[in-house]
Amino acid sequence: MKFYSSNNVSSVETTAVQEFQNKMKQLQSKYQSQDEKLWKRGTTFLERHLNSSLPRPQPAILLLTAAQDAEEVLKCLSEQIADAYSSFRSVRAIRIDGTGKAAQDSDLVKQEVDQELSDGFRNGQNAAVVHRFESLPAGSTLIFYKYCDHENAAFKDVALVLTVLLEEKTLAASLGLKEIEEKVRDFLKVKFTNSNTASSYNHMDPDKLNGLWSRISHLVLPVQPENALKGGSCL
């Protein structure tokens, strides 16, 4: 009888992938209004990262976006996907809320976010969710160069789930992923580089925004509303 190694993937990593797959299947059965692409692309993307050889070449960056009618779902689902990635370690993902930092000094927020991410990742957490990325003061978002860079990220064995809440009421289900991606990019461009934006945003240079966008837009996926989700409690 021959015994085959599992492509040099340790049993620990195999278990981590299996736990993640199970959690994602559970989420898919709960969130039944979501597009198949969200599950297929999102699961494959994060699964591939969990399954890649150590040390991993770069972190996994997933950007989820929604219109106003899916704000609650965006918050719930982003946290649960990040937690699914971490499920084997039995730790919750780091949670950062951009809305609570919107009016703060950009440099201060940059330091806070840096501290929260680095402390969490050093202490065994391997995923983070950054809610309402568009609400962070523009200058502070440059800290994500450190965490989302393709080659020189400070931590590579981690996943970051970023969320962007668009201003429109609904997001047409017929939109393709490329159109969604362009919509989010244009929205952040207006939000971060528009001179009419409140001074707390410390307006970002368009070239820096382009550099940031190339790092955070690995995979941009839309989130749709769920009829079953009412009253602020997650499914």
CATH of the domain at 174: 3.40.50.12190
- For residue 189, what pLDDT is reported? 93
Candidates 125, 142, 124; CA nearest to 133 is 142
- For residue 5, what pLDDT is reported? 39
Q: Is residue 3 part of a domain?
A: no
**Which tokens go with 101?**
């930092």
Q: How many angstroms separate the most distant Cα atoms in the chain?
A: 71
Candidates 83, 133, 139; CA nearest to 107 is 139
- For residue 231, what pLDDT is reported? 61
Q: Is residue 206 part of a domain?
A: no
- Consecutive 10-residue averages of pLDDT for the chain (235 residues): 42 84 96 95 95 86 97 96 94 96 93 98 97 95 94 94 97 94 95 65 78 96 88 73
- For residue 196, what pLDDT is reported? 57
Q: Within 31-87, where are the H helices?
A: 36-51, 71-86
Q: Are the CB atoms for 128 and 161 separated by under 8 Å? A: yes
Q: Is residue 195 part of a domain?
A: no
- For residue 205, what pLDDT is reported? 83
How many domains does the chain divide into?
A: 1
pLDDT digits (tens, 9 = 90+) for 17-40: 999 999 999 999 999 999 999 999
CA separation for the pair 98, 138 (Å, rounded): 11
Q: Is residue 69 part of a domain?
A: yes
Q: Is residue 111 part of a domain?
A: no
Q: Is residue 209 part of a domain?
A: no
What pTM was computed for the model?
Answer: 0.91
Domain containing residue 70:
10-97+117-135+147-184+216-222
**Which DSSP state fits 174?**
T
Q: Are the CB atoms for 37 and 221 separated by under 8 Å? A: yes
Q: Is residue 229 part of a domain?
A: no
